[in-house]
Amino acid sequence: MEDPLDRHFEVLLTAQEAYPALEREFLAANTEIAAGFRIFDVTTKLRSPEACELGETWFDLIVATLNRGVQISIAITDFDPVVRLENHQYTWRCVRQLHAAAEASRHPELLSVSASMHPARVGLLPRLLLWPRLIKEINAELADAALENDAARDDFLKTAPRLRPMLRMTSDGLRARRFPPPALVPATHHQKLAVFDKQRLYIGGLDLNDRRYDTPAHQQSADQTWHDVQVIVDGPVAEEAASHLASFQAVTNGRKPNTTKLLLRTLSARRKLSLPFMSPKPVVGELAERHKLQIAETENLVYLETQFFRDRDLANELARRAQEKPGLTMILILPAAPEDVAFKDEPGSDAAYGEHLQRECIKIVQGAFGPRAFIGSPAQPRPTNDKGRAALFDAPLVYLHAKVSIFDDQYAMVASANLNGRSFAWDTEAGIGTQSTAEVAQLKSRCFSHWLGSDADPACFSDLTACEAWSAHAARNAQLEPTERKGFLLPYAIGSSSELARNLPGVPEEMV
């Protein structure tokens, strides 16, 4: 198969590779930059030598970019202020810091920044059922904030502008309004992309802040590891991405979406009548559709790297293909535990439901593939005394956040979307696919070599033998002391989720 694309294509593993590359794209931009991120924090440290000449943080890079006359438009995701108050406050801190950077520049008019909240809302009937609990949660957050005087209250209200209309002042201080029932936001903008001069695109699963900084060696404490994958490409897909960034907020408000040929998206919109619904209206499902299409065409190996594997429709598509093609194999790489399970003392009901759905999906593919499926997780090659979910086979986990899908040597995707209903139907997501054999090979080589180590068995890299070889490699690692292991790969421990996993009948699977 000839490569149909002639373009720059650069794979970036972890923030150690991605952040300096993103900084250089900002430095090279001539006229305009458009971006959409879940998190974009300008207090993040600069990493590239070129950017570090300008200052210490992204604040300095934004100032310098505006000073050069480059127009910058950034949409940062805003969150439900009732159930995601901390995220909501963080968004508005990031927005204020960006405005401060603009004011420190010579061209503040060139910056456009928005805290972009998805316009869909949970319908009145579900909100009525949740009403007492929501009032209790708001009041609990207010109590935790320790708003002891007027100055503290004013500062709190500035950091939570979309919570303010839901509050009232009483003799006991700020409290939740009893009526109307608080609004709830079911969907978010989960994309992570930036376009430079409509010619180059930076896209994948990585946001911008210091929490997400990690290196390919993954030598930090487990709760500070963060494995992600980004790519930089040029060509027509960058123009499509720029058009998407200019229009996605209008689409979520009901406008007809643009047609794309290269950019893959998930888009949903607010419902005109939301009364009985907990969900937004699905509009574009290209990422889900492309996964199903490629599964149906794959002959030898499906390789999936994802933070969550919770979409039963996708699991069933994989199972059907496994039954049709007795030679088809599958490699699925997951974090040993979700972030809110591994690193929090009291995971919520949403985490329990997510664990239930993932167990169900894994059972579906294991039942269909049998030994033709290998499911693995990464952990550091050093010991730990932690016996909880932050450890795997006596080693600290590596938190995997990447979203990579590879089908034989024929097609690959890198995106912001996880393999769950939320990413496939509700949230705003963006990714790219490639059928260039050279680009697929580059992505596969980088991902495989990263997990397996530099001296892995050549059988690990062949579509026909990879599944069995990866399984054997992980099994050997599990029998060795952590310091003697090769690479990061270990078997996924599905049994560890059994205690937490819990079904929530009536709750949409897309919620988690």
**E strand or H helix at 96, and its extent?**
helix 85-104
DSSP line for 154-197: HHHHHH-TTTGGGEEEETTEEEE-SSSPPP-----B---EEEET
pLDDT level of residue 171 (50, 70, 90 thresholds) = confident
Kind of pairing, strands 229-234 and 200-204?
Answer: antiparallel
Tell me: pLDDT of 3 over 60.
Answer: no
Q: Do 9-121+185-246 and 258-264+277-511 come out as alike in CATH topology?
A: yes
Tell me: pLDDT of 1 over 80.
Answer: no
Q: What is the pLDDT of residue 399?
A: 98
Q: What is the pLDDT of residue 5?
A: 64
The tens digit of pLDDT for each residue in 452-493 reads 997 899 999 999 999 999 999 999 999 999 999 999 999 999
**Mean pLDDT for the chain overall:** 95
Bridge partner residues of 10 (DSSP)? 232
Tell me: pLDDT of 159 over 50.
Answer: yes
CA distance 336 to 436: 32
Q: What is the pLDDT of residue 306?
A: 98
Domain range list for the chain: 9-121+185-246, 124-176, 258-264+277-511
Query: Peptide bond before 180: cis, by omega within 30 degrees of 0?
Result: yes
pLDDT level of residue 189 (50, 70, 90 thresholds) = very high
The tens digit of pLDDT for each residue in 227-276 reads 999 999 999 999 999 999 999 999 999 999 999 999 999 999 999 999 99
* Residues whose CB is less than 8 angstroms from the CB of residue 115 and which lie 6 or more positions away in sequence, other chains included: 76, 77, 78, 91, 92, 95
Q: What is the pLDDT of residue 2?
A: 40
pLDDT level of residue 147 (50, 70, 90 thresholds) = confident
Q: Which DSSP symbol is given to 21?
A: H
Q: What is the pLDDT of residue 280?
A: 97
Bridge partner residues of 407 (DSSP)? 302, 411
CA distance 424 to 315: 13
pLDDT level of residue 4 (50, 70, 90 thresholds) = low
Q: What is the pLDDT of residue 111?
A: 98
98-112, 134-148, 231-245: which has the minimum mean pLDDT?
A: 134-148
CA distance 270 to 75: 18
The tens digit of pLDDT for each residue in 416-440 reads 999 999 999 999 999 999 999 999 9
Architecture of domain 9-121+185-246 in this structure: 2-Layer Sandwich (3.30)
Domain 258-264+277-511, classified CATH 3.30.870.10, yes or no: yes
The alpha carbon torsion through 190, 192, 198, 199 (nearest 10 deg) reads -140
Largest CA distance in the chain: 74
